[in-house]
Amino acid sequence: MRQRLARCRQLLVDPQYRTATITELAYACGFNNPTHFGHAFKLRLGLTPRDCRQISSPSRPTMISPPNSRAASRR
């Protein structure tokens, strides 16, 4: 199962597979139940397949916190 989850993770972050649904990728990696796949993925990798895909998306804006103005003014 570890290898199948690793393969799914690779496909989720690969821009070539952006249009494939998470369920389609789960089936392609040998999972027969999308719910089981989602639970196993989160248990093993610590995030959902959806979150994994969103984090790796190049169109996702990067959240950068502005510097603390008080801390910057004390320097």
Residues 7-16: tens digit of each pLDDT: 999 999 999 9
Q: Locate tokens 């496909």: which residue?
A: 11
pLDDT at residue 59, as a whole number: 58
Rg of the Cα atoms in the chain: 17
* Helix ranges restricted to H, 16-68: 22-28, 34-45, 49-56
| Structure confidence at residue 57 (pLDDT) | 75
At 19-62, the pLDDT tens digits run: 999 999 999 999 999 999 999 999 999 999 999 999 887 654 44
Domains of the chain, start order: 2-56 (1.10.10.60)
Residue 9 token pair:
């993770």
Q: What is the pLDDT of residue 56?
A: 82
Cα(38)–Cα(53) distance, rounded to whole angstroms? 13
What pTM, to 2 d.p., does this model score? 0.70
